[in-house]
């Protein structure tokens, strides 16, 4: 395999996961929380594909595609929630939305 | 030999460019105040990740990444951000900002934990990589795997997507509140 080894890709993957976790914990806009979740899922995907290349096995790539489908589902439901919250004129702030009551 | 090393240097250059773009746009998504700019930075992040997938000879996953994420998911994000309208986060109400300090500490410890766990479990064995054949990662190969070895995962994925679509419709539909 030309270029950097698997460990370099895993480093990028770990950094992306940490960055996404920071965004989920730090930001209070639910849209940015969803975007940070996407970064976390993509960090996981990069690790899966790097290990698939390392093992010469296709299961990692299949798993990555399944993760992408789950991420699309999560975005669908999450953005539906954001639209529903916005329609009720509630503040888009995850600290103020912690009661789960309309 | 010279050709091989030139190709190696080229792959390194592409890797450094894509990796740096990936990390920088990831930090930008988290740090931008306006959600619209964050979504645009996430598109850059997904594009550079697709380049990394290509370097890992995952061609179909890279194409699906660009089509599904940068094509469909990000358009939905931008549409919802435009629908909600520009809203900046309300500033903190003074006082010690212990919550963000704790968030930075937690995220940093997650990062360190991943690095330590991977390095302890597979530190010496990650440097050598098996040689893969030419069909690795091509759409036909992925499709054959999906419809033979991983058929159950394929079907369950379709059910998950269906349930999410129904949930999105239910969340998005107007319901009259019982007075």
Asked if B171 and A81 come within 8 Å (Cβ–Cβ), the reply is yes
Residues A67 and A48 sit within 8 Å (Cβ to Cβ): yes
Is the per-residue pLDDT at A42 higher than 90? yes
**What pLDDT is stored for residue B2 in this prediction?**
67
Sign of CA dihedral B96, B97, B102, B108: negative
Is the per-residue pLDDT at A29 higher than 50? yes
**What pLDDT is stored for residue B51 in this prediction?**
94
Give chain A positions within 8 Å (CB) of B165: 76
Is the per-residue pLDDT at A55 higher than 70? yes
Tokens of B154: 């394929």
Asked if A15 and B161 come within 8 Å (Cβ–Cβ), the reply is no
For the domain covering A6-87, report its CATH number: 1.10.287.3510
Beta carbons within 10 angstroms of residue A101's beta carbon? 5
**What pLDDT is stored for residue B9 in this prediction?**
87
Distance of CA A78 to the CA centre of its chain: 12
Residues A44 and B148 sit within 8 Å (Cβ to Cβ): no
Q: What is the pLDDT of residues A56-72, one digit of tens each?
A: 888 889 999 999 999 99
Asked if A14 and B172 come within 8 Å (Cβ–Cβ), the reply is no
Domain boundaries, chain A: 6-87
Residue of A nearest to B16 (CA): A4
Residues B60 and B142 sit within 8 Å (Cβ to Cβ): yes
Q: What is the pLDDT of residues B59-86, one digit of tens each?
A: 999 999 999 888 888 998 999 989 887 6
Number of H helices, E strands in chain B: 7, 0
Tokens of A30: 């639910």
Asked if B56 and A52 come within 8 Å (Cβ–Cβ), the reply is yes
Q: What is the pLDDT of residues B106-164, one digit of tens each?
A: 989 999 998 888 888 876 676 656 677 778 888 899 999 889 989 999 999 999 999 99
Q: How many CB pairs under 8 A join A and B?
A: 233
Is the per-residue pLDDT at B179 higher than 50? no
For chain B, give the mean pLDDT.
84
More confident residue, B100 or A61: A61
DSSP state string for B106-174: HHHHHHHHHHHHHHHHHTGGGS------TTTT-HHHHHHHHHHTTHHHHHHHHHHHHHHHHHHHHHHS-
User: What ipTM goes with this model?
Assistant: 0.89
**b/e burial code for range B116-129 (CB count within 10 A of at least 16 → b):** eebeeeeeeebeeb
**What pLDDT is stored for residue B96 in this prediction?**
61
**What is the reported pTM?**
0.88
Which of A33, A39, A100 best tests the B interface by mutation, with the highest count of B CBs <10 A? A39
**What pLDDT is stored for residue A70 in this prediction?**
92
């Amino acid at each position: 395999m030309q270029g950097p080894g698997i460990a370099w890709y895993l480093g990028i993957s770990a950094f992306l996961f940490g960055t996404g976790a920071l965004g989920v914990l730090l930001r209070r806009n639910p849209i940015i929380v969803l975007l940070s979740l996407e970064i976390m899922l993509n960090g996981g995907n990069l690790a899966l594909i790097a290990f698939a290349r390392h093992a010469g096995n296709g299961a990692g790539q299949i798993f990555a595609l399944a993760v992408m489908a789950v991420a699309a589902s999560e975005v669908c439901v999450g953005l539906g929630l954001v639209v529903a919250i916005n329609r009720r004129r509630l503040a888009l702030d995850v600290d103020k939305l912690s009661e789960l009551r309309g | 030999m010279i050709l091989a090393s030139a190709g190696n240097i080229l792959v390194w250059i592409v890797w450094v460019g894509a990796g740096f773009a990936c990390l920088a746009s990831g930090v930008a998504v988290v740090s931008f105040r306006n959600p619209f700019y964050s979504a645009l930075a996430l598109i850059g992040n997904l594009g550079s990740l697709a380049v990394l997938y290509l370097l890992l000879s995952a061609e179909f996953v890279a194409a699906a990444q660009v089509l599904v994420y940068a094509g469909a998911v990000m358009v939905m994000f931008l549409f919802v951000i435009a629908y909600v309208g520009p809203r900046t986060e309300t500033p903190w109400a003074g006082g010690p900002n212990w919550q963000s300090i704790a968030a930075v500490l937690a995220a940093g410890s997650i990062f360190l934990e991943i690095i330590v766990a991977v390095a302890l479990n597979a530190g010496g064995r990650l440097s050598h990589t098996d040689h893969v054949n030419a069909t690795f990662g091509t759409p036909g190969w992925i499709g054959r795997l999906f419809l033979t070895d991983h058929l159950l995962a394929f079907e369950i994925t379709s059910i998950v997507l269906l349930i999410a679509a129904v949930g999105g419709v239910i969340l998005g539909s107007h319901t009259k509140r019982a007075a």
